[in-house]
Each structure stands twice: as structure tokens, then as C-alpha cells.
Amino acid sequence: MNILILGSGGREHALAWAVMQNPKCDRLIVAPGNAGMAQIAECASLDIEDGDAVVTFAQQNTIDFVIIGPEAPLAKGVADRLREAGVSVFGPSAEAAKLEASKSFTKEVCDAAGAPTAAYGHFTDADAAKAYIREQGAPIVVKADGLAAGKGVIVAMDEQTALDAIDDMFGGAFGGAGAEVVIEEFMEGEEASYFILCDGKTALPIGTAQDHKRVGDGDTGLNTGGMGAYSPAPVLTDDIAARAMREIIEPTVAEMAKRGTPYQGVLYAGFMIKDRQARLVEYNARFGDPECQVLMMRLGAQALDLMLACAEGRLDEAQVNWADDHAITVVMAANGYPGAYQKGSIINGLNDLPEDSKNMIFHAGTTEVDGKITATGGRVLNITARGDSLQEARDRAYAMIDKIDWPGGFNRSDIGWRAL
């Protein structure tokens, strides 16, 4: 098969790595890719948010299957254009992707499906939103309704922070994403991620993970796109996961089909778990980053088979074969991230590291300049390892980090601390 992956981050490198393990893959192209992906696949320059351009590229290169990594092309309807052109694709339609692209839409679906989630209000007017905050009090959560690259959520521990967030959002701090806001009840508990493949009718769980959002050790400092993750997440026990499937996931999938917008792709559910019950924090319409890295490390070659079954409506025949193992990924970020950071620093020592089924470096913000790997983003590398225990996987990952020579970067030293 000729396969095209859209995206340029650590998530897409992990997807590319898993796909390349499968003998069904004859040719792999990633667009636009990064320096790490260029070592295992062809990289192509392509506007991945332009559905017509993606279709034309797929036809010119005889692409059999397209995997869409990030959320933006999904929200722009790239999967719809590919399906219309008869190209098999992994990723939901633009209407179905509204489960991520619109917080208020997700709340409507949850209400209709009876899925447990936070109490909320939806506002298009700043004064009404502020009145609701004053009525509810703090702590409270303020969310930009649309896509804001993971930055449009403010967990306000006091009323003034929440009111300031309203001014920022309606003032254009998040562009069009903040033209409407959702204000939610603050939920207590432990957060974990659940990943489910859906083909429009069947929902198949493919794994759990736990992310580390804060920039500093001990979950301190600013929120980021994620500083590390591990899988499985012990807090999401088999019993809690089974109940969440019955009460949240399956009713959501049924409601989406009932609306005439069946969900086809990966459904990433963020749960808050308290007293052995999960409540939905949010849905994402794509794999998490960096959670995808640990999932792909554990799934390996079967990931492609599962995604194909999903795209072809055969999930009722599919089965996930899990090894009794653990995986962890530690993000190395450019100094200054998540604030202003410098681009262009050189990373040495990567060539001396093992790359196999237990040890991988997934690139995110990198390019190759004059034969040297150069940092171009905020989150730059994902140091990922598997082990028979989480401790073994963690030791492997940090041993690799010790051999990387990059004064321009940093990482957290405590990824996996909750489980350990």
C-alpha cells in the first residue's frame, strides 16, 4: 500500500514509525514531516489544510490510504474531500470533528446522550458570561468554544482570573475560537485519557494514557501542550473504563449516528475520575500528543491494521492485542517554552542512541540543516521507551536523555510520578 500521513509533530512521527513496522506498507509519504520522519519516509511539501490540494497529491502519488494527524485539517473538512474523491482516509468528517472544534456542540451531544460531564453555560456575550461567573463563584473553568491549539482553557481558582479570561477571549486573544465561550463547573479528581476507534457504528477501545500538562516538576508552572505521558494509566481501571464505555462513549457514538454524522476515526476522551467514576472533560477528534507516542510504542504494526479496519467499517471484526507492558515518553522542549523560545539550536548525540521496539526518539519541532538536527519548535523531541514495568520504561527513557547533548533544551525529571 501507498500511505500518506498528514502532519509534522511527534504524534505523526509515532504514527509513521508504527505504520512502517507493518508489511502492508510499501511506500510512506509524510506531509510536511520533520527531520525524524525524513529518516524513515519521504517528506513532501503540501498545504495539509487544503482539501483539494491533498486530493490532487493523493491521486498523483497513487495513495491508497491517508492518515490525518492534527485537528486543523479535520475541522477544515479534508477527510470529507478525500472520501468524496474515493480515497480511503482515517479521520472524522468536519461535522463529526465538531466534537473537538466546538465545546458547546460537545455539551449538546452529551446532554442528548445522557453522558456525565461538568455542568456548564454557553455564552456569546461577555456581560452574561461574567454574570454567570459571579453567580457560580470559583474555582471555575472558562473555555474558548473553538479550536485554540490547546491553549483556550483557563482553570480559574479565583473569580477575578475567570473574569479576566472572559475579557481576553471576547477581546480576541484566541481569535475566532473565543467569539463564544463555555463556562464549566470545576471538576475534582484525577485526569486520564481514553482512546477509542470508531467506524460509525462500532467503538473499540485501544488504550489508556496519562499526560503531564504543566511545564515544571511536581505539576507546577504554566500549562503546555504536554511534557510527557505514559500508558497504561492505572487510575483508569478495567471497571471504570467499561462503565465509561457504557455511559459516555457508546451513547455519544449512537447520538452522532442518529444526527446523520457518524463518527469515524479515533475518539480521544479526556476523563476526570473521582470515586471510581469517570466524567467527560472533553473530546478530541485525533490522537493526543504526546499520548500517541506511548500508544504507538505499545501497539506497533497492528496500529495500521486497526486504522484500516476503522476506515473500512470493519471494526466489529477487529481485536487489539496488548502486550503486558508499559511505555513512557518524555518531552524535551526548547528553553523558554511555553513562552518565547529560541529556534535554531543544534541537538547532538542522537545518532548514538538505540532505535528499536523498546527505545525511540520521536521528533516534533526539528529540521536538518547542513547535516545537523536543529530545533525549530517549542516541543522538540519525544524520548520514548517500553518496559515490563513503568519504572523500567522510565529508567530507559531518562538514560537516553542523559546521552543527548542539547544545552538549548530542557525536560521534566518526574514523568510518571503519579503511577510510581
- Per the DSSP assignment, residues forming a β-bridge with 5 are 30, 67
CA dihedral 284, 296, 11, 309 (to 10 degrees): -60
Question: What phi and psi values does residue 5 have, to the nearest 5 degrees?
Answer: -110, 130
Contact indicator for 186, 155 with CB cutoff of 8 Å: yes
Measure the CA–CA gap between 157 and 134, rounded to whole angstroms: 13
Chain centroid offset of residue 113 CA: 24
| pLDDT of 188 higher than 80 | yes
Strands (E) located in 186-263: 190-199, 203-211, 214-216, 220-223, 228-231
Work out the pLDDT band at 375, boundaries 50, 70, 90. Answer: very high
Give residue 150's pLDDT: 66
Q: For residue range 38-88, what is the model confidence (pLDDT) as tens digits?
A: 999 999 999 999 999 999 999 999 999 999 999 999 999 999 999 999 999
Average pLDDT over residues 376-399: 97
Per DSSP, the residues of 5-63 read: EEE-SHHHHHHHHHHHTSTT-SEEEEEE--TTGGGTSEE----TT-HHHHHHHHHHTT-
Measure the CA–CA gap between 32 and 49, rounded to whole angstroms: 11
Work out the pLDDT band at 300, boundaries 50, 70, 90. Answer: very high
The set of cell numbers assigned to 156 is: 480559574
Query: Is the pTM here over 0.85, yes or no?
Result: yes
Output Rg (C-alpha) for the chain, integer angstroms: 21
Give residue 272's pLDDT: 96
Give residue 176's pLDDT: 81
Cis peptide before 354 (omega within 30 of 0): no
| pLDDT of 212 higher than 90 | yes
- Per the DSSP assignment, residues forming a β-bridge with 270 are 193, 282
* Burial annotation 271-310 (CB, 10 A radius, 16+ → b, else e): bbbeeeebbbbbbbbbbbbbbbbbbbbbbbebbbbbbbbb
Give residue 116's pLDDT: 96
Give residue 178's pLDDT: 77
